[in-house]
């Protein structure tokens, strides 16, 4: 088997509080093979967002190690971690986190231009990605003039902008009505499968989770199969 796109080994995360530390992750292990789509379904407060932020190199664990395409991230400085994040990882949040003063196309262009892609090429790729989500007529709309479902589609297109190997999504349709959530989730999975991405997607919806290759949960700070 080729090396996992994402591997988390013995990952620990605790948050200090007045009453002592909360141990959120207590030795979490998880490996995602290339092209593998994994759902993370666990009750509120068990550490899904925490796990995704650690996997996305947005935060550092208190113990254990996160490997992205075989490379240990713990010993890298912030600049090297940012470079891996930019090239290899796409992240989708529950609330789109689009930049309000930029258009849909510009939101998808920005990560590409930050990675050194020229403006015209970035615009072309943004138009292609947004077309894949049925948004060709919305390229020049700012987020405030898009529906919730359209905003999430743009956020997913942005996550795909730099052709990542790993897609991480934190309840990407949690903020949408059931019918729209269903549609956007299907499009997300279709794009991830079509591009051969590994994906870890937190969701509260068991019907959506069942469409993925594997479902895991968090129990006492560890990742366990469902
Ligand atoms: N920055 C922080 N400081 C202190 N405690 C935190 C911090 N972030 C998260 N926590 C705590 O860690 C636990 C896990 O939080 P996390 O956001 O990862 O849960 P979650 O599974 O994503 O929940 P939800 O389904 O509600 O989004 C919670 O008890 C939360 O209160
Ligand atoms: Mg969360």
DSSP string, 112-153: HHHTT--HHHHHHHHHHHHHHTT-GGGTT--GGGS-HHHHHH
Band of the pLDDT at 96, cuts 50, 70, 90? confident
Average pLDDT over residues 100-109: 98
- E strands, the chain, in order: 6-15, 22-32, 37-40, 63-68, 71-72, 89-92, 166-170, 198-202, 214-219, 222-225
Q: Residue 97 pLDDT more than 60?
A: yes
Least distant ligand from the CA of 221: 1
The ligand 1 site (C-beta within 6 Å) comprises: 15, 22, 24, 42, 44-50
CB of 172 within 8 A of CB of 184? yes
Q: Residue 56 pLDDT more than 80?
A: yes
For residue 137, the CA-to-ligand 1 centroid distance in Å is 38
Q: Residue 1 pLDDT more than 70?
A: no
pLDDT score at 15: 95
CB of 98 within 8 A of CB of 155? yes
For residue 133, the CA-to-ligand 2 centroid distance in Å is 25
For residue 128, the CA-to-ligand 2 centroid distance in Å is 30
Q: Residue 221 pLDDT more than 80?
A: yes
Summary mean pLDDT of the chain: 96
Which value, to the nearest 10 degrees, does the dihedral of the CA atoms of residues 36, 156, 148, 40 take?
Answer: 30
């Amino acid at each position: 088997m080729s090396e996992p796109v994402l591997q988390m080994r013995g990952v620990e995360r605790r948050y200090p509080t007045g009453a002592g530390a909360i141990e959120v992750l207590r030795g979490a292990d998880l490996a995602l093979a290339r092209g593998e789509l994994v759902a993370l379904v666990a009750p509120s407060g068990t550490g899904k967002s925490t796990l995704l932020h650690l996997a996305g190199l947005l935060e550092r664990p208190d113990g254990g190690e996160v490997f992205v395409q075989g490379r240990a991230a713990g010993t890298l400085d912030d600049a090297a971690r940012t470079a891996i994040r930019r090239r290899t990882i796409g992240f989708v949040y529950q609330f789109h986190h689009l930049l309000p003063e930029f258009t849909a196309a510009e939101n998808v262009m920005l990560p590409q231009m930050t990675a050194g892609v020229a403006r015209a090429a970035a615009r072309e790729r943004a138009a292609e990605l947004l077309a894949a989500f049925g948004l060709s007529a919305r390229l020049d709309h700012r987020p405030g003039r898009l529906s919730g479902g359209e905003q999430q589609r743009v956020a997913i297109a942005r996550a795909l902008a730099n052709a990542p190997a790993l897609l991480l999504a934190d309840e990407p349709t949690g903020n949408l009505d059931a019918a729209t959530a269903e549609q956007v989730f299907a499009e997300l999975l279709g794009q991830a499968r079509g591009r051969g991405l590994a994906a870890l997607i937190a969701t509260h919806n068991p019907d959506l989770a069942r469409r993925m290759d594997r479902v895991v949960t968090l129990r006492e700070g560890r990742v366990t199969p469902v």
